[in-house]
């Protein structure tokens, strides 16, 4: 496992940042932009992924870090669920939906691996 000195070094945070940027791009146009409820919800969930990774990293223990990573991982599920809604009502085409869903799944896998590592080792969070 790589050593992290800043949350920005964490691959799952980097990928979550790219996902959040893409979600903001897609939700800023057309009918999606006018659906304030879904637009705001999916944006908040996408930002929550990267924010919880960062906040957990800045905590004092691996246990707390892992807890925040659990929350971030749950937010990937929330984004995926909202992507289904957006696709079903025509805000996203199938290709865009699949790409974003796969990005969420990849982030969730990375987070799961990091959570396992943190729970099985007892050093500081910056490991």
In tens, the pLDDT along 72-119 reads 999 999 999 999 999 999 999 999 999 999 999 999 999 999 999 999
H or E element, residue 80: helix 62-88
Structure tokens of 118?
A: 């943190």
Long-range contacts of 35-42 (CB under 8 A, 24+ apart): 35/91, 38/82, 38/85, 38/86, 38/91, 41/82, 42/79, 42/82, 42/83, 42/86
Give CA 125 to chain center in angstroms: 19
Number of other CB atoms surrounding residue 126 within 10 Å: 14
- Domains annotated for the chain, with CATH where assigned, are 8-120 (1.20.1440.60)
In tens, the pLDDT along 20-62 reads 999 999 999 999 999 999 999 999 999 999 999 999 999 989 9
Does residue 2 carry a pLDDT above 90? Answer: no
Whole-model pTM: value is 0.92
Structure tokens of 106?
A: 């990849």
């Amino acid at each position: 496992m790589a050593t992290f000195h800043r949350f920005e070094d964490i691959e799952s945070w980097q990928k979550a940042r790219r996902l959040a940027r893409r979600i903001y791009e897609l939700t800023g146009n057309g009918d999606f932009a006018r659906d304030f409820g879904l637009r705001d919800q999916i944006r908040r969930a996408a930002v929550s992924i990267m924010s919880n990774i960062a906040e957990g990293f800045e905590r004092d223990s691996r246990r707390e870090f892992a807890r925040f990573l659990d929350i971030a991982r749950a937010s990937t599920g929330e984004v995926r669920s909202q992507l289904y809604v957006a696709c079903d009502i025509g805000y996203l085409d199938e290709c865009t939906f699949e790409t974003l869903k796969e990005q969420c799944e990849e982030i969730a896998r990375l987070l799961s691996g990091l959570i396992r590592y943190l729970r099985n080792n007892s050093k500081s969070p910056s490991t």
